[in-house]
Structures are given as structure tokens and as C-alpha cells.
Amino acid sequence: MTKPIDHASTVTRDEVEDFLYHEADLLDRWKLDDWLGLLTDDASYYVPPNDKPEGDHRFTLFTVADDIVRLRERIIRLKDPNCHAEFPPSRTRRMISNVRITGTEGDLILVSANFAIYRYRRNETVPRLFVGCYRHKFKLTDAGLKIHERRAILDAEELGAMGAVSFLL
């Protein structure tokens, strides 16, 4: 009897941290096509509603619930100068911390991390602050680590002054 592979032990926290820092850097520099390259071909991206952070997007109205098809369309939109909510594009700075490998789900590696994203917009001197945690599912592929599921959970009770979530959290 062979011992089942412990997928969590196939990567180190250092590797996951490096990956998340690289991802944050791509997003902050609006290298969105490069960012898409970090995802699996069946990836999804979720931002649950502030009042139901543990909700399921099939039964609960989310802020964002993209499958890969819609996520690719979102990138097309974000790169378009007619994406008025992000023109000129927001200047963002992402702080990632408290990175942990929390377990596995089949061959997926579960990762949690905290984030604080400062978002500066044209005509606004005070940044809009987005604080929360990531619950990601990674897959180790022949091309290295990829994101299979990406979930950004905001801490605030309501979006309020954050306004629209028109950029990628």
C-alpha cells in the first residue's frame, strides 16, 4: 500500500509567499495578461458579499463570482480605456502577510493570507482601503504553482466608502 501524497508538503511557505508577492506586484502594475498566466484554465475568482463572507455563490449574491470565461472578459474590460471606473487606472499597493498553508483538498493546496490594499484614484487624495483575507486553492502543475480558486474576503461590514470593486482584489 502506497502512502497518499501529502500535497501540502510538495510546496513550502516560502514558495507560496514568493508566488503571492509576485502576483500582487503584477496586479499593482496592471500586468493583467501576465496575471492571467498564473491561473489554471478552469480558475475562478470570488468576492463574497460583506454580510455573508462564508456564503456560496450559487445561493448568495456575491460582489464578484467569475468563472474563467468571465474572468477573461473582466481582464478585457479592465484593459479597455472605456472601462470608465478604472480610467485612469487606480494606483494600488498591496500588502500581503500572515501567509499560511492550511491544508489540502484533493490535489489542491489551501492557502490563506491577509491583505491590505491601498487604492488611490484620480481626483482623490485619501486612499480607499480594502482589508481582508485571501482563501486560495493552488495547484502544483508541470508549469509550477497555479491558482485554481481565488477568494478575497473583505472585513468591513459593508463596502461603504470603498465604493465599487472595479479592480481586482
Partner 1 sequence: MLDKPTQNGRSNGSYDGKLVVEDLENLTFQVHRKVFVEPDILEQENRAIFDKCWIYVGHASEIRNPGDFRTRHVAGRPVIFCRDRQGNVRALFNVCRHRGAVVCREREGNTRQFYCIYHGWSYNTDGSIKGIPGDDAYPPNFNKKGMGLVPVPRLEHYKDFYFANLDPDAPDLHTYLAGAKDYIDLVVDQSPSGRMEIISGVQEYDMKANWKLLVENSVDDYHLVSTHATWLNYMRNSGVNVTPAKGHMLPTKGFGKDLGNGHLTTDNPNYRGRPVARWISVYGEDAKADIDAIRNELVERLGEARAARVADTNRNLCIFPNLVINDGSSVTVRNFTPVAPNLMKVTAWALGPVEETEAQRARRLHAFLTFYGPGGFATPDDVAALELAQQGYAAWREVPWTDLSRGMGNSQEQLATDEGHLRVFWRKWDSMMSGAPA
Asked if residue 12 lies in contact with residue 19, where contact means CB atoms within 8 angstroms, the answer is no
Least CB distance to partner 1 at residue 6 (A): 33
- Which x/- pattern over 126-165 shows residues binding partner 1 (rule: CB under 8 A)? -------------------------------xxxxxxxxx
Among 32, 38, 43, 65, the residue binding partner 1 under the rule CB under 8 A is 65
Rounded Cα distance between 119 and 94, Å, is 9
Q: How far is CA 9 from CA 21, 90, 104, 116, in A?
A: 20, 37, 10, 28
- Which x/- pattern over 6-45 shows residues binding partner 1 (rule: CB under 8 A)? ----------------------------------------
- In the sheet that holds 108-120, the strands lie side by side as 64-66, 39-47, 144-154, 128-141, 108-120, 91-105
Least CB distance to partner 1 at residue 10 (A): 33
List residues binding partner 1 (CB under 8 A): 47-52, 55, 57-66, 70, 73-74, 76-77, 80, 82-86, 123, 157-166
